[in-house]
Chains A and B, each alone.
Chain A
Amino acid sequence: MSDRILMQGNDAIARGLVEAGCAVAASYPGTPASEILSSIDRWRKKCGATMHVEWAVNEKVALEIAYTAAITGLRAAVSMKQVGLNVASDPLLSAAYLGVTGGFLVVSADDPGPHSSQTEQDSRLLAMMAKVPVLDPASPAQAMALAGTGFDLSETFGVPVMLRPTTRLCHASQDVDAPPFRLPVREARFVKDPARWAATPAYRRMLHDRLAEKIAAIAAWPPTAPIRVNPEVSPAKAVVASGVAFAHARELFGELGISERIALYQVIQPYPLHAAFIDHLLETYAEILVLEESAPVIEMQVADRRRVRGRMTGAVPGTGELLPEIIERLLSGFAGLPVPAGALPAQGGGRRPTLCPGCAHRSSFYAIRKAAPDGIYPSDIGCYTLGINLGAVDTVLCMGAAVSQAAGFDYAHRLSGKQVDIVATIGDSTFYHAGIPPLIDAVVQGARFVLVILDNGTTAMTGNQPTPGTGIGAGGETTAAIDMEGLVRACGVRFCRAANPDRLPEFVALLKDALVHAREGGVAVVIARQPCAMVTRAAGGKEPGAIVITGECTGCRHCVDRFECPALVFDEAANRVRIDEMICTGCGVCVYVCPEETIRAESAGEKRS
């Protein structure tokens, strides 16, 4: 048995961080980056390192906490998905100017595709805007190594460094050599220097000059210079690739047998691209093909339009993931081989995602449509975005926007003399993340809407991380817990009531009360409180159910179309609904939903009437 162990990309990044002496780590969960912080906590426990590890309330707070540790000389890291970097961009751009004394790594995971994100944005472009060097690993093993390199780079030049994995790295697993930990120990020491740490605009100009000098020096730093894969040949063409696109390309170079004809380079640090490398490329090659995700960051720095091809020139598709099938076609064409006509893997199609069987969000959405059938339903980011299947989600913009969009709809319609029922939904984690400032704003402006906070006591979509309301920390430790009702009232909301949405008739009545208040009295908040069905199932909390459909089912499809529980299956041949016992949790909410009253709960359960 070898000492190589299976590590997911995120696990490998976490291992690399802990191994390199990261003392403070903060994150807000988001696919594909979520596993990094929980894995940091596991490695921390395994090696006995003294660390502060936390799920922060949002990415901006997470970045500020980790950054501050790095100006006391400690090594620190923050991890997030790419849209989280938008939230954290404010402190990042300033942190680049002020710099650090201890190593500071910003791990921002991109999602070309996108598979589980609102955008395909390229964090490397934001690194470029911030003037922060960025490293682009191609495999879990390389990501683990680059965590340490990144800290070294950060400390050598006193700048924040970005590590940019993508989904196909974060969620790839690989056998990785895991040697014993060597843990450096440092002491926090903040050296006061207000001209730097609290710089006014006059000083900022000087800091900007200094940052430009650092970036020029980093563009000549040997440890992150591009790697030539096949130095033994001298062809006229070169492929320059980074990230997982490089991994695909390297495998295909072998399969297609083109290593003799085309030079292959891996760029480790897309920004700043090494200046000597740019000169070398332009002096040596007649044609250069750049393969990178998602934006043309390398390509735009090799600015010779006659010789460079890539996403800017249209030689490489300008959007979407660079799948290996696409890279195979591009490399074949570039090498002068016949271009294969193989199929691309199916994108989309098949069964669409749905809320889990037994999920209380389903009850909330069903009730919202009952209580406000002609309403407008702004919603937000989380599992509950799937309320779109139930016709109870009309808008999803970004974290926290459900609240501001609800207010925006009211103001817009008010101008036209109209009053519409607006029922917004937001999850508990998203509410804490970005829902509070817009709620304060809505109260102040007298907006009229109902906000339903779907409080399942967890960040479910990303793998059930704790929220500030749970009183549980990243390592399972006990923390202070936020009182959600108290918080809502402190925002100035006068109608705030909590209830279990699985008690459907009562919940519909509560929503109607809230709507009456909203029409006349401003914002009403209803907290739909019921634990996540996945957590309940994992805890072995509920026995698989004894829900039955009686012989009188008319095949009206109301439960299938409007409630959409995966455990309710329409049998086309028999023209009736049956229960899928493999997945039914026995929650019994569908008993209320059937207009013909043909769904029954056989055994007495807590939630069944």
Chain B
Amino acid sequence: MSADVGKLPLMRQQVVLSGVGGQGILFLSRLLAEAAIAAGFPVLTSETHGMAQRGGVVVSHLKVGGFDSPLVRTGRADLLLVLKEENVALHREFLADGGTLVVNAPVPTDAGPRVRVHAVDADALALSAGTPHAVNLVLLGFALTRVGGVTAGGFFCTAREIREALSRRQGGGGSRLADSLSALDLGIAHGT
């Protein structure tokens, strides 16, 4: 149990991230969780490991604020980030009424009424930038811009906190951090 239950009642955000094994869903959820901690919020995530990571359906849950359970219930997610468009049908049930779907797709996917949809062809962008493995960060950059910050009813963190979390994770030298940051920026540019 988080000892901080009830301490920050104003921030309660539930996010579901969906994709297939190899797309970097796990990395994305940990990055967001670290950004949440840096912003001073308690955080709980739930990850997918094992055989599903071999190209199967992978889903992460992220709960920012005072929660006990690591899982998001159906109909409760404020935000659904989908890296593989075909998963929208599988995981749209997680979205709350008025929730937001951000999907890696050339055109917005129909997710039913009462759901705001933002789409970006993150595959094409990542491939054209020569960083196909950073498709997750392209989508995240796009989502951060499109969904907006917490004052706009959006993300609990901003691109600045994600950049800092990336630097902490990948700041050990080499080109990885630069590649990641440019993928994030690519998404941000397309969300603006």
Contact = CB atoms under 8 A, between A and B. Distances in A.
Identify the interface centre among A174, A342, A349, A386: most chain B CB within 10 Å of its CB.
A174
A581 B2 contact: no
B106 interface: no
Given A138-B1, A142-B1, A6 B37 contact: yes
B51 A386 contact: yes
Interface stretch (B68-76, B108-116, B136-144): B68-76
Contacts of A342: 73-75
A248 interface: yes
B40 interface: yes
Interface in B45-89: 45-57, 67-71, 73-75, 84, 86-87
Nearest to A227: B1
Contacts of B20: 350-351
Contacts of A539: none
A31 B1 CA distance: 23
B70 A168 contact: yes
B16 to A, nearest CB: 9
B52 A116 contact: yes
Contacts of A141: 1-3
Interface string B95-134: 0000000000000000000000000000100110000100
Given A141-B2, A251-B69, A544-B132, A325 B74 contact: yes
B133 to A, nearest CB: 9
B56 A346 contact: no
B83 to A, nearest CB: 11
Contact of A324 (B73, B90, B91): B73
Nearest to A385: B51
Interface residues of A, number: 56
Interface in A562-602: 566, 581-583
A304 B120 CA distance: 58
Interface string A379-404: 00001011000000000000000000
Identify the interface centre among A115, A581, A582: most chain B CB within 10 Å of its CB.
A582
A38 interface: no
Nearest to A174: B44
A171 B46 contact: yes
A4 B37 contact: yes
A130 to B, nearest CB: 27
Nearest to A344: B74
Contacts of A323: 71
B1 A566 contact: no
Contacts of A383: 51, 54
A542 to B, nearest CB: 13
The 4 closest A-B pairs by CB, nearest first: A116-B50, A353-B56, A172-B70, A31-B50
Identify the interface centre among B20, B46, B71, B86: most chain A CB within 10 Å of its CB.
B71
Contacts of A280: none
A544 B73 CA distance: 39
Given A115-B48, A141-B2, A250-B69, 14 more contacts: A6-B43, A32-B49, A138-B1, A138-B68, A139-B44, A168-B46, A168-B70, A247-B69, A248-B71, A345-B74, A350-B87, A355-B55, A461-B54, A582-B123
Interface residues of B, number: 50
Contacts of A349: 57, 90
Contacts of A31: 49-51
B191 interface: no
21 contacts: A116-B49, A116-B52, A141-B1, A171-B46, A173-B45, A174-B44, A247-B1, A247-B68, A251-B67, A325-B73, A343-B74, A350-B56, A350-B90, A351-B86, A352-B56, A353-B21, A356-B54, A356-B55, A544-B132, A582-B132, A583-B132
B160 to A, nearest CB: 14
Nearest to A177: B3
A521 to B, nearest CB: 36
Contacts of A252: 69
Contacts of A583: 22, 132
Nearest to A325: B73
A393 to B, nearest CB: 13
A175 B32 CA distance: 12
A354 interface: yes
B54 A354 contact: yes
A351 B91 CA distance: 13
A175 B2 contact: yes
A5 interface: yes
A6 B22 CA distance: 22
A581 B130 CA distance: 11
A244 B70 contact: yes
Nearest to B84: A351
B49 A171 contact: yes
Contacts of B22: 356, 583
A313 to B, nearest CB: 24
A328 B69 contact: no
Nearest to B4: A175
Given A32-B49, A325-B74, A354-B54, A6 B30 contact: yes
B69 A324 contact: yes
Given A6-B30, A248-B71, A343-B93, A172 B46 contact: yes
Contacts of B49: 31-32, 34, 116, 171, 463
Contacts of B38: 1
A209 B118 CA distance: 67
Contacts of B55: 351-356, 566
Contact of A248 (B68, B123, B132): B68
A603 interface: no
B56 A351 contact: yes
Given A139-B1, A247-B68, A350-B87, A355 B45 contact: no
Interface string A130-169: 0000000011011000000000000000000000000011
A200 interface: no
A416 interface: no
Contacts of B126: 582
B155 interface: no
A2 interface: yes
B94 interface: yes
Nearest to A5: B37
Contact of B69 (A115, A248, A346, A581): A248
Nearest to A356: B54
Nearest to A142: B1
A463 to B, nearest CB: 8
B52 A115 contact: yes
Contacts of B94: 345
B93 A346 contact: yes
Contacts of A364: none
B47 A8 contact: yes
A171 B20 CA distance: 17
Interface in A232-257: 244, 247-248, 250-252
Interface in B145-188: none
A175 B67 CA distance: 12
A494 B52 CA distance: 38
Contacts of A8: 47
A5 B56 CA distance: 29
Contact of A6 (B3, B21, B34): B34
A376 B165 CA distance: 51
